[in-house]
Amino acid sequence: MEQNATSMLSRLGQSLKRIFLLDLLDGLWLTFRMQRTTNIATEEYPKQRPQVGERYRGAPRLNINPDNGETLCIGCDLCAKACPENLIVVGTVRNKETRRLDLTTFTYDLSRCMFCGLCEDACPVDALELTQDFEMASYTREGLIWDRQMLEEGPRPTHYTK
């Protein structure tokens, strides 16, 4: 008998909540409470760049030797072989004088890259690295296929001023 009375009271309480829209009012009260300027946590993105995580892997870059200004890539093609998406294409030609491989082309397709870092780990001379640059948006798919020059320069984000 007591269980029937408590279940009837709980059903009555739920019905009253539905009739008077108490859940809606609770949600609205929470929303209005959070409108105070002390509770706002908005970043002014173009003006203030957000901090990214220490181990974040973003835009790829071909490192350049500071002594001679040439790329560190030796054309071994290990990064292309380590890539699970097969998106790296390395073109080399054998130099007859030095008997070494000279890098001719290097393309990297960012539209399919999952930023796993396997290409970075496979490079024996640390020529390829994934930087913390995150602004890589492009209006076309062709804009996401980076060539050697773009990889050496890195992304050029637009800096907005007021």
Within-domain flag for 38: no
Domain count for the chain: 2
Instruction: Label residue 160 by pLDDT band (50, 70, 90).
Output: low
Domain at 79, CATH number: 3.30.70.3270
Q: Is residue 53 part of a domain?
A: no
Model pLDDT for residues 82-133, shown as the tens digit of each residue: 999 999 999 999 999 988 999 999 999 999 999 999 999 999 999 999 999 8
Q: Is residue 79 part of a domain?
A: yes
- Top pLDDT among 43 and 73 is at 73
Structure tokens at 19: 């009739």
Q: Are residues 148 and 100 in the same domain?
A: yes
Residue 11 one-letter amino acid: R
- 72, 147: one domain: yes
Question: Which structural domain range is residue 26 located in?
Answer: 2-33
Alpha-carbon gap, residue 87 to 128, rounded angstroms = 14
Predicted confidence at residue 82, as pLDDT, reads: 96
Query: What average pLDDT score do residues 33-44 get?
Result: 76
At residue 77, the 3 state secondary structure works out as coil
What order do you get walking across the sheet with 88-94 strand by strand?
88-94, 101-109, 145-146
76: burial class by Cβ within 10 Å (0-12, 13-18, 19+)? middle
Same-domain status, 82 and 142: yes
The answer, as to whether pTM is greater than 0.85, is: no
